[in-house]
Amino acid sequence: MPKAMKLAAPLLALALLSGCATGGVPSAAGTKLSSDAAVSGQITVWSWDVAATALKRLSKEYTKEHPGTTINVVDIGYDNAYDKMSVGLQANSGLPDVITVETDHMPAYIHQFPKAFTDLKPLIGADEAQFDPSKISASSSADGKLLSMPWDSGTVALYVRTDYFKAAGVDPSKLATWDDLITAGEEVKAATGHALISTDLSTGSLFQMLLQQQGQGIFTPDGAINLTSAAAVKALALIKTMNDKGLLDNVKGWDGRVTATKNGKSAVMPEAVWWIGTLTGEMPELANKITVVPLPAFTAGGTQTSNDGGSTLAIPTQAKNPQLAGSFVKFMLANKDNQVSMMKDEGLFPSYLPALDAPLFHAPQAYFGGEKVYELFAAQTPKIPSITYTSDNAKAGDTVSSAVVAAVLNHQDPAAALKSAAEQIATATGRKIAQQP
Amino acid sequence: MTQTLKRLPVYLVLLVGAALSIIPFLWMVIASTHTTAALFATPLPLLPGGELWKNLARLQQETNFSQVMVNSLVVAVIYTAFSCVVSAMCGYGLAKFRFRGRGLVLGAVLLTMMIPMQVLLVPLFQMMASLGWVNSYQALILPFLANAFGIFLMRQAFLDFPDSLIESARIDGAGELKTFYRIVMPVARPQLAALMIYTFISQWNSFIWPLLMLNTEDKYTLPVALNTMIGLSRVDYSGLMLGSLLATLPLLLVFIIFQKQFVSGLMGGAVKG
């Protein structure tokens, strides 16, 4: 993903400013939303990319059902969206009625601007249990408010090059654990000369994915640093083992991953469901050469998925028409038909679980040789482990990446590298390091 | 012959420099004629492909490129015109008029150059919001009209201007405005041309402030519109390259037009004795 490294400087400047900007804190906690309020007037919605396309398309349906309303959808672009939104949150003015925020970004916003978002719980009530649980926990505040509504999930599975596995005589559907996959990787390498996984080690995203698969994050639920846990060491040791056996292909960034996949550098790709869009869009020539299986587990029978990406919709307390905004958000996201149609037209994989029963998710996919790949993702989505995000996740991310590079490329002991990273984060954030049993 | 041989290393260095500056542009041209998928292939395409018109159509459809181009031109031209007038007048005042606190004013102007934009973003944003100027072009133009760099540049240009010429203009009955416009300005044309190029380019490329201020797609300027082509999990590189290429052309034009002014503004014996 063209990721947000370049956001760091302006965001840091904003953080420094938070002390001296005047009038930046909303006084009230926003309007109390009601699920059956009368709606009228107009709202503006900020989004990007295919999400904006989906909003524009379905807003027409909404206004048809609710005469006298107008929905303006603006594509603000993804690359600098958080600069734009952070300034609006800081200044407490200038934001529209609805904004799109990625799931990973929401916890930091909730922490930094606790009063800037409207509680969406009254809109859906008990329906909250119908969403991907990992998304709900990322969108909730400590006092139990739901400050953004989950939109799509980044359910992770393993994309496998079937031709490479066939050449090595390995059956990808038999991969139960990561150890199995490493053995298979060695056989594939011997038979075809290809690596197992192409990843950008300097982002640390593979490590964080493996950590979440084991139900843990960089921080524990009570906010302590979790890098010295057995799960963290296991995740890093796994990456190191793969690299030591020559099974890793280290690439640079999003473009590097796309190029490596297109050119068939590696045999498997642990990627989210939205990777399908990249495959069909940028590499149609790989049709019928790829299959999807659940992630291998750490121990047989364990969790076989993780999460990478996904977005939510939030209503700032400064919204001018919060009731219409709430009604529209509910219409878009807590609605089976609309979630299914966004999957069909824009490839946004629903976090709203009832939508996953739709026939679309049981249909064979031509690109994958007629396999029902969405069925697999649908089955895994409710099993994505919930983890704790804190306001320091972004800050800790860089230190974690350095630890990954130190252990994997510079041959440090994984436990030692993680311990030193945990100490650095403790110094930088003032958080405690979690005591390990 | 030996002369040429001696210069050979210089030419080689220049050749490398020229290649380094031209290759990115060449790549922009090549990339804008392929599909994005082709840009991920190995080996990279080195010759132009046949997708130019399709890319252009998509660029126009997704960003309303022609409209955006006009928006950018309008903002940059208006800003350049007014900002240069303000800079020239202010620079003239600071260079040629003696008044109490002149040094202080100049110091204050220069000090504003040291404030990074990031620090201004939030307060300036709040100011624009309370004026009701969010999503308007005056919010892009007015806050930056007095440009410290421009004022300083023009002041330096006017410093060397002979006082005796200004005095003789006054004696001949010219008012202050006429003296400024008829006598002083023509001499400062090279500096003014340089300033115009500079202000035009800075406004043309300006990104973060327009991104914060503009909230409807029909008002976007070029950099903000091109930014929307960078998606979450998909980047339209060929469209982006074509857009950047087209966005460079007006800059080239401005530079060619005003470059002549660099050399034609010589002072040529205006003062005798």
What tens digit of pLDDT does each residue of A329-340 get? 999 999 999 999
Q: Find the helix packing angle between A275-282 and A253-262, rounded to 10°.
A: 60
> Which residues of chain B lie closer than 8 angstroms to A44, CB-CB?
215
> What mean pLDDT comes out for the span A295-301?
94
Q: In chain A, count of helices (H) and strands (E)?
A: 17, 10
Q: Check whether B37 has a pLDDT greater than 60.
A: yes
User: Is B43 part of the contact surface with chain A (CB cutoff 8 Å)?
Assistant: no
Do A277 and B233 form a contact (C-beta atoms < 8 A)?
yes
User: Is B215 part of the contact surface with chain A (CB cutoff 8 Å)?
Assistant: yes
User: Is B229 part of the contact surface with chain A (CB cutoff 8 Å)?
Assistant: yes
Following DSSP, what letter does each residue of A280-299 receive, concatenated?
HHH-GGGTTSEEEEPPPBSS
Contact A94 B129 (CB under 8 A): yes
User: Is B232 part of the contact surface with chain A (CB cutoff 8 Å)?
Assistant: yes
> Which residues of chain A lie closer than 8 angstroms to B229, CB-CB?
77
B245 burial (CB, 10 Å; 0-12 / 13-18 / 19+) is middle
Q: Check whether A235 has a pLDDT greater than 80.
A: yes
Do A194 and A265 form a contact (C-beta atoms < 8 A)?
yes
Q: Check whether B172 has a pLDDT greater than 80.
A: yes
CA-CA distances (angstroms) from residue A19 to A1, A430, B119? 32, 19, 12
Beta-bridge partners for A146: A140
Beta-bridge partners for A74: A46
Beta-bridge partners for A247: none
Residue A29: predicted pLDDT: 59
> Which residues of chain A lie closer than 8 angstroms to B208, CB-CB?
10, 80, 83
Tell me how close the Cα of A282 comes to any Cα of chain B, in angstroms: 5
Q: Find the helix packing angle between B148-159 and B102-112, rounded to 10°.
A: 140
> What mean pLDDT comes out for the span A34-50?
90
Mutate to test the interface with B, among A43, A49, A255 (most CBs of B within 10 A): A49
Rounded Cα distance between B88 and B191, Å, is: 10
Residues of chain A numbered 66-95 and touching chain B (CB < 8 Å) = 72, 74-80, 83-84, 87-88, 90-91, 93-94
> Which residues of chain B lie closer than 8 angstroms to A198, CB-CB?
none
Rounded Cα distance between B240 and B228, Å, is: 10
User: Is B115 part of the contact surface with chain A (CB cutoff 8 Å)?
Assistant: no
Residue in A119, A151, A134, A109 with CA at minimum distance from that of residue A33:
A119
Q: Check whether A45 has a pLDDT greater than 50.
A: yes
Residues of chain A numbered 1-20 and touching chain B (CB < 8 Å) = 1-2, 9-10, 13-14, 17
Token reading at A251:
């690439």
CB neighbour list of residue A374: distance below 8 Å, 6 or more residues apart: A273, A343, A349, A360, A361, A362, A363, A365
> Which residues of chain A lie closer than 8 angstroms to B234, CB-CB?
49-50, 277-278, 281-282
pLDDT, tens digit, 9 for 90 and up, residues A240-284: 999 999 999 999 988 899 999 999 999 999 999 999 988 998 899
Q: Characterize the bridge pairing of strands A311-314 and A149-150.
A: antiparallel
> What mean pLDDT comes out for the span A131-142?
91
Residue in B122, B231, B130 with CA at minimum distance from that of residue A76:
B231
Residue A16: predicted pLDDT: 42
Lowest mean pLDDT among A38-52, A400-414, B41-55, B59-73: B41-55
> What mean pLDDT comes out for the span A126-138?
92
Residue written as token pair 């260095």 = B13
Following DSSP, what letter does each residue of A17-42 receive, concatenated?
HTTT-TT-S-SS--PPP-TT----EE
Q: Supply the mean pLDDT for chain B.
A: 89
The CATH number given to B65-228 is 1.10.3720.10
> Which residues of chain B lie closer than 8 angstroms to A22, CB-CB?
126
pLDDT, tens digit, 9 for 90 and up, residues B116-165: 988 899 999 999 999 999 999 999 999 999 999 999 999 999 998 999 99
Q: Supply the mean pLDDT for chain A.
A: 90
CB neighbour list of residue A115: distance below 8 Å, 6 or more residues apart: A25, A26, A28, A29, A30, A317
Residues of chain A numbered 99-138 and touching chain B (CB < 8 Å) = 102
Rounded Cα distance between B188 and A361, Å, is: 71
Q: Check whether A8 has a pLDDT greater than 60.
A: no
Q: Which residue of B has its CA nearest to A257?
A: B40
Query: Starting from the edge strand earliest in sequence, which strands make up the sheet with A41-47, in order?
Result: A69-75, A41-47, A98-102, A311-314, A149-150
Rounded Cα distance between B203 and A46, Å, is: 25
Rounded Cα distance between B151 and B135, Å, is: 28
Lowest mean pLDDT among A21-25, B9-13, B122-126, B185-189: A21-25
Q: Check whether B264 has a pLDDT greater than 60.
A: no
Radius of gyration of chain A (CA): 22
Between A and B, how many residue pairs show a Cβ–Cβ distance under 8 A?
Answer: 117
Query: What is chain B's percent helix, strand, coil content, to nearest 5?
Result: 75, 0, 25
User: Is A176 part of the contact surface with chain B (CB cutoff 8 Å)?
Assistant: no
> pLDDT class for B263, splitting at 50, 70, 90?
low
CB neighbour list of residue B128: distance below 8 Å, 6 or more residues apart: B134, B139, B143, B213
Residue written as token pair 């800079």 = B87
Residue B270: predicted pLDDT: 46
Mutate to test the interface with A, among B63, B122, B220, B241 (most CBs of A within 10 A): B122
Rounded Cα distance between A75 and B137, Å, is: 19
Residue written as token pair 């004629």 = B33
Residue written as token pair 């201020």 = B213
B97 burial (CB, 10 Å; 0-12 / 13-18 / 19+) is exposed
Rounded Cα distance between A249 and A267, Å, is: 11
Tell me how close the Cα of B227 comes to any Cα of chain A, in angstroms: 6
Q: Check whether A25 has a pLDDT greater than 70.
A: no
Lowest mean pLDDT among A13-27, A282-296, B121-135, B199-213: A13-27
pLDDT, tens digit, 9 for 90 and up, residues A170-199: 999 999 999 999 999 999 999 999 999 999
Rounded Cα distance between A437 and A295, Å, is: 28
Rounded Cα distance between A220 and A84, Å, is: 31
Q: Find the helix packing angle between A49-65 and A322-333, rounded to 10°.
A: 110
Domain ranges of chain B: 18-55+233-264, 65-228
For A314, phi and psi rounded to 5 degrees?
-125, 155
User: Is A98 part of the contact surface with chain B (CB cutoff 8 Å)?
Assistant: no
Q: Which amino acid is at B145?
A: L
Contact A17 B119 (CB under 8 A): yes
pLDDT, tens digit, 9 for 90 and up, residues A384-417: 999 988 888 878 989 999 999 999 999 999 999 9
ipTM: 0.80
Mutate to test the interface with B, among A11, A12, A79 (most CBs of B within 10 A): A79
Query: Starting from the edge strand earliest in sequence, which strands make up the sheet with A266-272, in order?
Result: A248-250, A195-199, A266-272, A156-161, A290-293
Percent of the residues in chain B that have a pLDDT greater than 70, as a whole number: 95
Q: Check whether A65 has a pLDDT greater than 90.
A: yes
Rounded Cα distance between A414 and A328, Å, is: 48
- Torsion on CA atoms A235, A240, A241, A243, rounded to nearest 10: 130
Which domains are present in chain A? 36-150+311-350 (3.40.190.10), 158-307+388-429 (3.40.190.10)
Rounded Cα distance between B6 and B17, Å, is: 19
CA neighbours closer than 13 Å in the CB half-sphere of residue A156: 25
CB neighbour list of residue B224: distance below 8 Å, 6 or more residues apart: A77, B207, B210, B211, B214
